[in-house]
Amino acid sequence: MRKRIIAGNWKMNKNLSESIGLISELKSKVASKPENVDVLIFPPYTSLETASALTKDSSIKLGAQNMHQADGGAFTGEISAGMLKSVGCEFVILGHSERRHIFGESDELINEKIKKALEEDLKPVFCIGETLEQREAGITNDVIRSQVEKGLNGVTENQLNEVIIAYEPVWAIGTGKTASPEQAEEVHKFIRELIETKYSSPAAEKVIILYGGSVKPENAATLLAEKDIDGALVGGACLKADSFAGIINA
């Protein structure tokens, strides 16, 4: 039985005092969460240390939204895996479509980051997904295959245990357009098959695959009812404690 994960990607939202407010509201709501669900939050860097202190006495787990692939050095503006660990992060989102499309991150760069995160004992939430044009051109599976192959290049089966995959169709992120449960399940199933081919069938059975893209309390239950959808990576709806808790309870 795979674990359920509901993850909230705050993106570039919430200053320090707003972060404190959201976490305290969330803590009281998450206290009664279903036992088989892990709740992860990904606040901005500036709130991580405080978030770590505030969530210590709760079941909420903490991650960052990105990191640099080097150990340290002259990389103005960047943050290393070791720095994230030192403020209590356990997870890191890598390859989010906004990093790929706005900041030009390539599959090769994302692969370097994934390997560095694993080396440093941070669990990557590895994001993949096709654009609307790619879907309309009928090449969704090719895009997903290539992202999985390149992103996980050199990642061993043992290391894969620590990787969470997030399927986020780019056309569904922040647009209010969710993939239908059937559309999402089709790709999740395909990703599991890719993992089976690349690794093994136990690896495919074990790997956690989240869906992301306009997940809300109203659509979460039907998405999460699909066999290969193990949880959600939530953007907009995680910025309010009520709606995030709605998804957790769904």
* Structure tokens given for 156: 């061993």
Q: How many residues bind ligand PGA (CB under 6 A)?
A: 13
Q: Is 234 in the site for ligand PGA (CB under 6 A)?
A: yes
CA distance linking residue 232 with residue 63, whole number of Å: 15
Q: Is-catalytic flag, 101?
A: no
Residues 12-39 as b/e (b if ≥16 CB within 10 A, e otherwise) read ebbeeeebbebbeebbebbeebeeebbb
Q: Is 43 in the site for ligand PGA (CB under 6 A)?
A: no
In sequence order, what are the residues at sequence separation of 6 or more whose Cβ sits closer than 8 angstroms to the Cβ of residue 216?
178, 237, 243, 246, 247
Q: Is 215 in the site for ligand PGA (CB under 6 A)?
A: yes
Q: Is-catalytic flag, 168?
A: yes
Q: Is 247 in the site for ligand PGA (CB under 6 A)?
A: no
Residue given tokens 């192959």 in the structure block = 149
CB contact at 8 A, 210 and 216: no
Identity of the residue, 199 or 211, whose beta carbon is nearer to ligand PGA in the bound complex: 211
| Binding track over 133-172 against ligand PGA, x by CB under 6 A | -----------------------------------x----
In sequence order, what are the residues at sequence separation of 6 or more whose Cβ sits closer than 8 angstroms to the Cβ of residue 106?
100
Identity of the residue, 159 or 222, whose beta carbon is nearer to ligand PGA in the bound complex: 222
From the candidates 96, 105, 130, 188, which is the catalytic residue?
96
Taking 3-state DSSP, the helix, strand and coil percentages for the chain, each rounded to the nearest 5, stand at 45, 15, 35
From the candidates 98, 105, 130, 168, which is the catalytic residue?
168
Phi, psi values for residue 199, rounded to 5°: -115, -90
Q: Is 5 in the site for ligand PGA (CB under 6 A)?
A: no
Query: Smallest distance, Å, CB 182 to ligand PGA?
Result: 19
Stretch that binds ligand PGA, among 33-41, 45-53, 181-189, 211-219 (CB under 6 A): 211-219
Q: Is 65 in the site for ligand PGA (CB under 6 A)?
A: no
Sign of the Cα torsion 48, 76, 129, 152 reads negative
Residue of minimal CB distance from ligand PGA? 235
Distances in whole angstroms, Cα of residue 211 to Cα of each of 58, 64, 189: 25, 18, 12
Query: Smallest distance, Å, CB 172 to ligand PGA?
Result: 6
**Triad 50, 53, 56: Cα angle to 5°:** 145
Q: Is 233 in the site for ligand PGA (CB under 6 A)?
A: yes
Q: Is 174 in the site for ligand PGA (CB under 6 A)?
A: yes
Give the residue numbers marked as catalytic.
96, 168
Binding site residues, ligand PGA, CB under 6 A: 9, 168, 173-174, 212-215, 233-237
